Amino acid sequence: MGSLFGTDGIRGSANVELTPELALSLGRSLIELLRGQGNERPAVIIGRDPRWSGEMLESALVAGITSAGGDARTVGVLPTAAVAHLTARSAAAAGAMISASHNPVGDNGIKFFGADGFKFSDDDEARLEALIDEAAASPRPRGTEIGRRLADPSAVARYIEYLASVVDLDLAGLKVVVDGANGAASSVAPQVYRQLGADVITIHCSPDGANINAGCGSTYPDVIAAAVIEHGADLGISHDGDADRLIAATATGAEVDGDVILAILAKHLHERGALRQGAVVTTVMTNLGFRRAMSALGIEVIETTVGDRYVLAAMRERGLNLGGEQSGHLIDLEHATTGDGILSAVLLMAVVHETGASLDELATVMQRLPQVLVNVKDVDRSRLDGAGQVWAAVKQIEDELGGGGRVLLRPSGTEPVVRVMIEAPELDQAQQIADNLATVVAAALAVH
C-alpha cells in the first residue's frame, strides 16, 4: 500500500479512492493506535462537512471505531477547527474530520487530531496506516465491550459560544456579507458574527449536500467582492467548505487574501507587543510584498514549504503565535490549534473595530507584487532538481529581476506537475516570464 496521507490527511474521490471500506479500516486502526497509547476505551469526536458522501464515510468510520471497542461521539456538520477545539476541551482521545475542504463535491477526505487538538504528526499517520492490517486481524470485542455511537447535540452551540467570547467585541453598525461556500460554515459563521453584533447578510449558506464550493466560497473571491458592493456592506467574509480558510473583500470590492490578512493581524499584534518574538510564519508562496511590509515594520518572517502543517510546526518549534498561508489558512495559537476561518474573521473584524479604520485602509499595510502561477503538466517532476537547463534559466531571470521580483519552482506533491511562480513589478512582465520559463520546464522534463 502506498502512503495514504498527504499534507492534510487523506483525500480522494469519494467511494472510489476514499471508500467506506477504507474508512472502516481506519476506524479500527485508530482505536488500536489509541489503545497502544494507554487509552483503555478511547473516545473519538467525529465531525463532517455537508457533502453527500460525508454521511457514508462517517457511518463507516463509526463502524470501525465501535467494532474495535472505541466510542464515537458524532457532532454533525461543523468546521474542521470545531472538531479540533472540541477534542482538546474534552476527555476524547482523538478527533476526526470528514471533509475535502475547498475541493468539489465528488471528493472527500479524513484528517485526524490528537487529544491536544493538534493534527496528527507524520509519525502518528504512518503508525495509523501501518496498523490497518494488524487491526483487521485483531480480536473482536463482544457484548458491552463493543463501542457505542453517541451524538453530541450541544457541540455546535458550545463552539459558537467559544468563538463569540474570544475577544470583547461589539460589531454593532458593521454590515458584513458572509459566503459560507454552502459548507460547514453556513450556519455557524453567521451566528457568530450576529452574536457579536454585526449586521449579517448571507450568500451561499444553504447547503444541500451537492452544492458545496460550487462557484462560491474562498476559491471564488470575485463572488464575495461583487456581493459586498451589491449590498453596500463594510466588508465581506468568504469561507471554504470546511471553514478553515478566510478570504475577505473590502467595501470597494478589493480582494484581501491570506497574505494581506496575515499582515494586518501581525502589524496589529506587533504594535501592542503581543506578537511573540516579533515574528510571523508563512510559506514560500507568500507574496514578496508581504516580506517587504514586515521588514519595514521590524517583523521577522519565517518561511516554510507549502502546507499549514509546516507553518504550524515552525510556529510550535519557535514558540510563535501567528502564521498562515496566502490561501487564507491562518493559525492563531493563542486561541486555536489549527486554522480556523471563522476565528480569523473575528480577529480581523476586531482590528477594524479597535482601529476605527476600514478594511480598505488596513489593507494598505502591504502592496502585492503581480504574481503569476503556471502549472506545467505531464512532466517528470522527480527530475527537476537535476535539470541544469531549467536552473540556468531561473538564474538568468533572477539576475534580470534583481530585488524587484521572485522566481519559485515547486513540484506538486501528488500530480505530474511542476508549478512555476513569478513575481515581477508588472503583471504582463510576470506572465511573459512565467510562460517562457514554463516552456523551458516542459521541454527539459518531458515524459519520454
Q: How far is CA 447 from CA 373, 412, 444, in A?
A: 21, 15, 9
Cell of 75: 457532532
Q: Hey, which bits of 116-260 come out as E strands?
A: 149-151, 175-179, 199-203, 235-238, 247-250, 255-256
In a 10 Å sphere around its CB, with 0-12 CB exposed, 13-18 middle and 19+ buried, how is residue 326 labelled?
buried
Radius of gyration of the chain (CA): 22
Q: For residues 186-215, b (16+ Cβ closer than 10 Å) or e, as one string? A: bbbbbbbbbbbebbbbbbbbebeeebbbee
- CA angle in degrees (0–180, nearest 5) for 349-350-351: 90
- Per the annotation, the verdict on 101 as an active-site residue is yes
Q: At what angle do helices 258-271 and 341-355 cross, to 10 degrees?
A: 50
**DSSP assigned state of 412:** -
Question: Grid coordinates 513575481 are at which residue?
Answer: 423
Report how far residue 324's alpha carbon sits from residue 310's, in angstroms, rounded to the nearest whole number.
10
Q: Is the CB of residue 407 less than 8 Å from the CB of residue 428?
A: no
Burial of 136 (0-12, 13-18, 19+ CB in 10 A): middle
Q: Which entry of 53, 67, 101, 238 is annotated as an active-site residue? A: 101
Residue 300: CB atoms within 10 A of its CB come to: 14
Degrees, nearest 5: CA angle 323-325-326: 135
Burial (Cβ within 10 Å: 0-12, 13-18, ≥19) of residue 294: buried
Q: Which residues are catalytic?
A: 101
